[in-house]
Chain A
Amino acid sequence: MEPTHNINSLTKINNAQLYGLVILRVIIGWHILYEGVAKLINPYWSSAAFLLDSKWIFSGVAKAIVSNPALLTISDYVNVWGLTIIGLCLMLGVFSRYACIGGMVLISLYYLFSPPLLGLEYGRPGEGSYLIVNKNLIEIFALYILYLFPTSHKIGLDRLLQTKLNFKGIL
């Protein structure tokens, strides 16, 4: 009989399905981690350019952040460290359901601050063609899937936390 894995109270999946989900988790983790690290090692990076180009309902908030040096500094820190930590958690499979939620929140902000809606023009050059749906939106929902079908307690450091430290409840 093919081995199955209980990944939540209702779902049993087979090996191929588990590995597929783990790979998805690791590559999203890789992407988010490098987004964070790349900003971390670039002394000239600031969220200001992105925020200034913000359109739609959050553009006012974006401009308020940019015009306040303290808020801008906080925004820079949250982005750099948020991305780095979330990416690391997904890749290593530690606290990964929380990392999924964190990632969804952060990437939703990127989406909402500059969504590719009809009639919105952006100053910075885009790297693809998008209409309403862009890579941010896809990544948000990929993280949602990973949140619904957690794998880190099977493959990932969460497994150790669960078996050795009895963290079961919160994972």
Chain B
Amino acid sequence: MSNDSSRDQNVERRDFIKALATVPIFGFFLVNLWLKLKKDALKRKNLLVDLVQEKKPPVVIKNRSNGKHLNIGIIGYGGRGSHLVRGAGFATKGWTDYAYKANQENNLHKAYATFMSQDDLNCSLVGVCDLFDVNADLGIDASKNDVGPGGKPKYHAKRYKHHTEMLQNDDIDAVIIATPDHWHSRIVVDAVKAGKHVYCEKGLTRTFQESIDVYDAVKETGMILQLGHQNRQVEANDKAKEIIDQGLLGPVNLVELTTNRNSQWGAWVWNIHKDANSKTIDWETFQEPSPNKIPFSSEALKRYFRWRCWYDYGTGLSGDLFSHDYDQLNQIMGMGIPKYASASGGIYFYKDGRDVPDVWHVTLEYPDRDMTVLYSATLSSNNSRGNRIMGHDATMILGGQSNAGGVGGFRVEADRESTQYRERIEKGIINTKYPIYNYSPGSKQIDGVTSATSQYFANKGLLYAYRDGKRVDPTHLHIKDWLDSIREGSQPKCNVDVAFEEAVTCAMATESYLTGRRVEWDPIKRRLV
């Protein structure tokens, strides 16, 4: 009996031991998991992650738009103009139908939802001025479309043939200027003198003198100017600024900015509208401010739709693309106007009659800050070089190569000869092969941005911004910032002071290229030497 019971106990004990035989392995797993978590936590603490993630993203989406209802006019309802007006809440019926259908066919196409979830900016589009009848009609159409974040529009827009007529309308509070660059300064000056607030597309001006004229007119009248660098609304740039302000890159002596495009679109060889002719386009008004004039012809039509290719109407890479990268850097590092600028390049690929270079480089010198900024652009290679802020302790890589989750992200890599991180590198806490910080907004959110055009801008952070993980169009935020500043009497993010810095820097680079000499900025006499 007792033998039987001891055998039973033995069997039972053996059952237990065999049943629980692998539990110690699970314990071993847990111990290792705990050790790994501890090691990761220590590593993270020693890296930048805690430093930068502790801070909340800026909360910009608070509704400040409930004050005065504002009436706005658009001057230049072309490709960019229509995007800006959409940012204010008005899209053509054609666009909303297209975007809606695109989303029905492909769930990943989010343009419609992004547009419809924009804040109602409490404004009306009441005036449209465009020299091309087709575009003017589209602008009027946008003002009448019931489909939009603000619902049924209060007012419909009126067509104006000339901006001076529009500025005489006392009901208009503010104007958006998206004409070619050679018209910017005249319209800005006329507008602020007529008491209108201004949103002006980049580049602010075509020449140095125009930059002075615009700055003085805006300052004298006290009107609110917002320059169209929507990168100012991109959260990643604020994060990048935080990191640099904390000195995590160490001393920075060199910054490299790049533009890399390789398509007809990217080189401004845009379609000539099939309905464009001498009756539908006011060519004489178009070319009025340009130094050289030609009669209406097929060449004129080319210039009308591809104006970025000629110095008569714009500044080529300078105002169109360098201005973006410069302004991003100015936002992150507060560069201001350089002491010297020298530029070089040529028309090496697009020998299509243009007079602006398609390969172009600028060197900006900031001796007071011990810094050089290099800008290098090509319109015949997509090799995405990214923008690099190179410090003694670490390098920050934005856009392009950074590929940190794609949209508007950046990464920071420690330098193996860093002084600040030496100890951590020696201890193996920092491995210089891997980024010490990766910023990829919206990494959990996926969108179907697939076209080359969209991808280009998305990588630069120009199409989408993220606020608390929600995707928003920075152009919308930028327009909102402008309208809210008008209501509050405050200064918007890309106000006249930083706009002036952009304009003068671009003008210095353009002048250097055109004259083949180094250009110096004299801040006392406000002139170029």
Contacts and interface: CB of A to CB of B under 8 A. Distances in A.
Interface stretch (A98-106, A108-116, A151-159): A151-159
A30 B31 CA distance: 13
Interface string A40-53: 01001010100010
Contacts of A63: 107-108
A48 B20 CA distance: 38
Tier of interface size on chain A: 20 to 34
Nearest to B12: A163
Contacts of A68: 107
Nearest to B109: A67
Interface stretch (B22-30, B161-169, B275-283): B22-30
B19 interface: yes
A160 B29 contact: no
A92 B444 contact: no
B18 interface: yes
Contacts of A46: 443-444
Nearest to B110: A67
Given A30-B29, A37-B33, A154 B18 contact: yes
Contacts of A160: 15-16, 19
A92 B107 contact: no
A48 B21 CA distance: 38
Interface in A118-171: 154-160, 163
Contacts of A48: 444, 446
A57 B342 CA distance: 55
A21 B15 CA distance: 18
B42 interface: no
B37 interface: yes
A156 B21 contact: yes
B25 A155 contact: no
A92 B26 CA distance: 7
Contacts of A37: 33
B406 to A, nearest CB: 11
Nearest to B444: A46
A63 B444 CA distance: 15
Contacts of A91: 22, 25-26, 29
Contact of B22 (A52, A92, A163): A92
Contacts of B20: 157
Contacts of B23: 92
A38 B33 CA distance: 9
B16 A67 contact: no
A156 B22 contact: yes
Contacts of B15: 159-160, 163
B21 A155 contact: yes
B114 to A, nearest CB: 14
A68 B106 CA distance: 11
Interface string A20-62: 0010001000100110010001001010100010000000000
A64 interface: yes
A163 B26 CA distance: 22
B22 A155 contact: yes
Contacts of A157: 19-20
Contacts of B19: 93, 155-160
Interface in B421-480: 443-444, 446, 448
A66 interface: yes
B108 A67 contact: yes
A68 B445 CA distance: 11
Contact of A52 (B16, B21, B25, B446): B446
Given A41-B37, A44-B443, A46-B444, A26 B107 contact: no
Contacts of B443: 44, 46
B112 to A, nearest CB: 13
A88 B30 CA distance: 11
Contacts of A156: 18-19, 21-22
A49 B195 CA distance: 51
Interface in B11-62: 15-16, 18-23, 25-26, 29, 33, 37
A93 to B, nearest CB: 6
A156 to B, nearest CB: 6
Contacts of A30: 25, 29
Nearest to B33: A37
A22 B25 CA distance: 12
A113 to B, nearest CB: 15
A44 to B, nearest CB: 6
Contacts of B448: 67
A37 B22 CA distance: 19
A52 B443 CA distance: 13
Nearest to A22: B22
A44 B22 contact: no
A93 B29 contact: no
Contacts of A92: 22-23, 26
Contacts of B29: 30, 33-34, 91
Given A44-B443, A92-B23, 7 more contacts: A30-B25, A44-B444, A48-B446, A63-B107, A68-B107, A91-B22, A92-B22
Interface of B: 15-16, 18-23, 25-26, 29, 33, 37, 106-108, 443-444, 446, 448
Sort A-B residue pairs by CB-CB distance and give the 8 closest, nearest first: A67-B107, A159-B19, A160-B19, A48-B446, A155-B21, A46-B444, A67-B108, A155-B18
24 contacts: A22-B21, A26-B22, A26-B25, A34-B29, A34-B33, A41-B37, A48-B446, A63-B107, A63-B108, A64-B107, A66-B108, A66-B446, A67-B106, A93-B19, A93-B22, A155-B18, A155-B21, A156-B19, A156-B21, A157-B20, A158-B19, A159-B15, A159-B18, A160-B19
